[in-house]
Amino acid sequence: MVKLFFLRKGFMTLILGLEGTAWNLSAAVVSEERVIYEAESTYKPLHGGIHPREAAQHHSSELKSVVSRALRGAEGEGYSLEEIDAIAFSQGPGMGPCLRTVATAARALSISLKKPLIGVNHCIAHIEVGRWRCGTKDPVVLYVSGANSQVLAYRSGRYRILGETLDIGIGNALDKFARYLGLSHPGGPKIEELASKGTKYVYMPYVVKGMDLSFSGLTTAAKDAFDSHPEEKADICHSFQETAFAMLTEVTERAMAHCCKDDMLLAGGVGANRRLRQMLQTMCRDRGARFYVPETKYLKDNGAMIAYLGLLMLKSGDTTPIEKSEVKPNYRPDDVEVTWRAVE
């Protein structure tokens, strides 16, 4: 870590953040007070799931336009390019080709604008933007997205992973099953829609091992159930959701009990699901705990969360020299030394 003390006294800190770990390319300018402007461009696979090289190709052809739109938008709000204090980017985890494309752009901007570079962990950015938007200080976090499903809590300078998926993320499980049903990517919202029409519970494997979870057997069971009874599509979607979300709620509740924490924060794209929110909300209410979820645009991948974590890191003097800015496709949140929170 390099300590730099160059923040302009009495001025707001402004960060340009770049996100492009998978399907969404996004750039945002953020201050301590607000998201000043955000621009994005979404990669939509023609068929099947996300193809890493195609997504990277999308990001590379859209980068110039997305960054220019974010900067022009910030200018429209009265903030000039010269006022940007640092460039933050998603260093990982994510798809290698996508990460490399965005990191290259971030390095080029950092060098040409002579502003420090800040490599941020994408998972922790999901958490910090949620804490910021919801005003929760020290929550147990359920982070559920395409590639990730983790329960985390902060302790002694790190976000500790208390439980996680042993195979695929819940979002990928939903997307895979949706693809099997012939639905386009992303499948999560389409499964939610179908599930709302289901009533009957079809047996699905409930796999919780200690604090960890597994979703691949569940996905296979849902495919098998559909092969046997295609007419029960809505019931199978309902049962898939009920089982997977009950597993997630169980592990989250145990983490809250073990850590004696009374706040719970939902993060990641799957957090948009109304049934998941309802289950977590009920669990929190029954425990006398508080349930927090940010606006949907801050649940899914977005540049603002990268810029905001960059801002926290810059203010604690935590920047990334170019020679240490290599991308980390398997970057885990507990690899990160949290420099911006008091050690509790």
Give which of ligand ATP, Fe ion, none residue 56 binds (C-beta under 5 to 8 Å, depending on kind).
Answer: none
User: Which of 131, 261, 300, 328 is the binder for ligand ATP (CB under 6 A)?
Assistant: 300
Which residue lies nearer to Fe ion by CB, 116 or 169? 169
User: Which three-class secondary structure state does DSSP give residue 256?
Assistant: helix
Which residues lie below 8 Å from residue 14, measured CB to CB, with a gap of 6+? 29, 30, 31, 36, 74, 79, 83, 84, 85
The distance of closest approach from Cβ of residue 12 to ligand ATP in the complex, given in angstroms and rounded to an integer, is 28
Q: Does 146 bind ligand ATP (CB under 6 A)?
A: yes
Identify whether the C-beta of residue 270 lies closer than 8 Å to the C-beta of residue 144. Answer: yes
The distance of closest approach from Cβ of residue 125 to Fe ion in the complex, given in angstroms and rounded to an integer, is 8
DSSP secondary structure, 135-185, as one string? T-SS-EEEEE-SS-EEEEEEETTEEEEEEEBSSS-HHHHHHHHHHHTTPPS
Read off the tokens for 42.
């979404």
Binding region for ligand ATP (CB under 6 A) out of 77-85, 141-149, 312-320, 324-332: 141-149
Q: Does 174 bind ligand ATP (CB under 6 A)?
A: yes
Number of residues that bind Fe ion (CB under 5 A): 2
How far apart (Å, rounded) are the C-alpha atoms in residues 28 and 59? 15
Per-residue binding letters, 68-97, with ligand ATP (x by CB under 6 A) = --------------------------x---
For the chain, how long is the longest CA-to-CA vector? 67
Which residue lies nearer to ligand ATP by CB, 59 or 300? 300
Q: Does 188 bind ligand ATP (CB under 6 A)?
A: yes
Inter-CA distances, 169 with 148, 165, 244, 268, 293, Å? 5, 6, 11, 11, 19
User: Which three-class secondary structure state does DSSP give residue 194?
Assistant: helix
Which residue lies nearer to Fe ion by CB, 38 or 253? 38
Where does this chain bind ligand ATP (CB under 6 A)?
Answer: 21-23, 94, 122, 145-148, 169, 171, 174-175, 186-189, 192, 268-270, 272-273, 300-301
